[in-house]
Structure 1
Amino acid sequence: MGHEWINAEQEFKWSEDVKVESEVTEIVLVRHGETTWNAAGRIQGQIESELNEVGQKQAVAIAERLGKEARPVAVYSSDLKRAKDTALMIAKTCFCSEVTEVPDLKERHVGSLLGLYWTEGAEKEPEAYSAFFSSQNDLEIPGGGESFDQLCERSMNALEQIAKKHKGERVIVVTHGGVLRAIYLSITQASSAGKLLNASVNVVHLRDQKWSIDSWSDVSHLSSVGFLQRGFDGDAKV
């Protein structure tokens, strides 16, 4: 599924100052802008929620930043609206004619935690809350939720498929905090991914079939806009 518009690319001269090495595939991973539920501290999972005013400004700020960097050949997004709206802004600024939706880039299914406030999860759904933060990665969240292993598998498969189509090229992928955490931990085998901030830039490289982290959780472009300091932290209980 794509979103298209007419652009004035023929009138735009792209800077050639920064190029991706021909043998390296560069994927710029972006977390969507802030939503009404992010600001309220509610658990979104795969439910739709709108970018709030700050989130819209963040989408503009990240689009302006990426528009000044090496041109991407494509923009991909989760099929959830908060990611798509962020991706559309980026694509337009980067003169990419469409956004390609990838359902496997959507946020983790959080089962019976969906819609709860983070602060009430432990009391109202203790089993699901415990499963979400469990170090037992094959444990599914009660209420139809995914295990962390399932999230990692679909997230990395989606990333691999995108990289396969764009060998030696630069692409932008807009997704969610849970997916970013899954990708980071899958690549690094670290014990924690830290905070995943709204509208952050996270760059990964694929070289000789090996993934590496180039930069992570960069929000330098948000200095005049602001962001939620707490971000998404799937490693620590609220």
Structure 2
Amino acid sequence: MSAVRTTCTCKTLALVALFPLDSHLRGASAFLQLKTFSTASYEPKLRRAFTRRPTHLDKSAFLISMADSNSSSVNPIYAEIIVVRHGETEWNADGRIQGHLDVELNDVGRQQAASVAGRLSHEPKISAIYSSDLKRASETAEIIAARCGELEVIKDPELRERHLGDLQGLVLREAANVSPKAYKAFMSHRTNEDIPGGGESLDKLYDRCTAVLQRIGRKHVGEQVVVVTHGGVVRALRKRACPNEKLAGKILNTSINIFLLSDGDGWIIKSWGDVSHLDPTGYLKSGFGGDKLSG
């Protein structure tokens, strides 16, 4: 399994386009096509991107890696937010819908959390760690915090998974028969449709989680922070950064996804779907993550 990462050996800005994967690699890594530009010539374009609402720059999603690989500081015009999906749970393994139900990590999930913590411990300076208050996320965050300078984990319920109403607790493959109305709403293409039983529409999830990430970004401009959350949330955040790009593949447990957020409302994806740290541990290809594409 290879990582979705960029490496700059000189002072350049690397733009890396994501293209469709072979089926056996889909969701775990990406085929990369690399173009490099001098930082000096591209910096004005990056600054403009952070002073307006983002537009889709190409039919491909972009990974952006700033300056040289030896830099130990974050560019002062943005916050670098490392968004991590929580580790595996037994319900992920069973295809059971969690939503707001509070399920703990299983043993594999704890190993995954230790692996991603080891990976993030090599980051030069993490200023803060935020997490959903649900156990599967907060336990992952605590394991990361223990390896990254004993930082306090700031728990925020706005980072929770999508509330899935009457579907919560059901096995996904049985949900259509057990709760047909909720399942129909869940599968609907209408993003404003709530799920019966107190569930959220995709629009409500999007508004909630993009607002909290923007708030975190504005608080930490010029810093690097970690946010531990859930599959449905990560997918919604990507939609905010790449509104015209459909995401193929799944949001894997403890995958690393890095966003650059300006103090305004500019969002750019720096890297996506990095699971290189799971090479020794393995990963779950089918862990349910909050929307119909994630099961």
TM-score, normalising length: structure 1: 0.89
Q: Which has the higher helix share?
A: 1
1:97 paired to 2:151: yes
Q: 1:31 aligns with which of 85, 101, 107?
A: 85
Matched residue SS, 2:129 = strand
1:182 paired to 2:239: no
Aligned-residue identity in percent:
48
Kindly report which structure 2 residues correspond to 1:1-238, keeping only aligned pairs within 5 A, or say none. Answer: 17-189=71-243, 190-192=245-247, 194-207=249-262, 209-232=265-288, 234-236=291-293
> Can you list the C-alpha shifts for 1:165-223, whole angstroms capped at 9, x where unaligned?
11111100000011111111122112336310001101000135310111111111000
Matched residue SS, 2:208 = helix
C-alpha separation between the residues in 1 aligned to 2:194 and 2:246? 19
Unaligned runs of 5+ in 2: 1-69
Q: CA deviation at 1:135?
A: 1.8
C-alpha separation between the residues in 2 aligned to 1:227 and 1:105? 23
Matched residue SS, 2:210 = helix
Unaligned runs of 5+ in 1: 1-15
Matched residue SS, 1:217 = strand
C-alpha separation between the residues in 1 aligned to 2:99 and 2:259? 24
Deviates more, 1:97-106 or 1:18-27: 18-27
C-alpha separation between the residues in 1 aligned to 2:139 and 2:110? 9
Letter in 2 for 1:155: C
Retained in 2: the 8 A contact 1:122–1:129? yes
C-alpha separation between the residues in 2 aligned to 1:205 and 1:198? 21
Retained in 2: the 8 A contact 1:194–1:235? no
Q: CA deviation at 1:17?
A: 4.5
Letter in 2 for 1:158: V
TM-score, normalising length: structure 2: 0.72
Relative to 1, partners in 2 of residues 1:43 and 1:232: Cα closer, same or farther, differing over 3 Å? Answer: closer
C-alpha separation between the residues in 2 aligned to 1:135 and 1:145? 16
Task: Please report the RMSD computed on the Cα atoms of aligned residues, expressed in angstroms.
Answer: 1.8
C-alpha separation between the residues in 1 aligned to 2:208 and 2:75? 27
C-alpha separation between the residues in 2 aligned to 1:22 and 1:188? 23
Rg (Cα) greater in structure = 2
Letter in 1 for 2:249: G
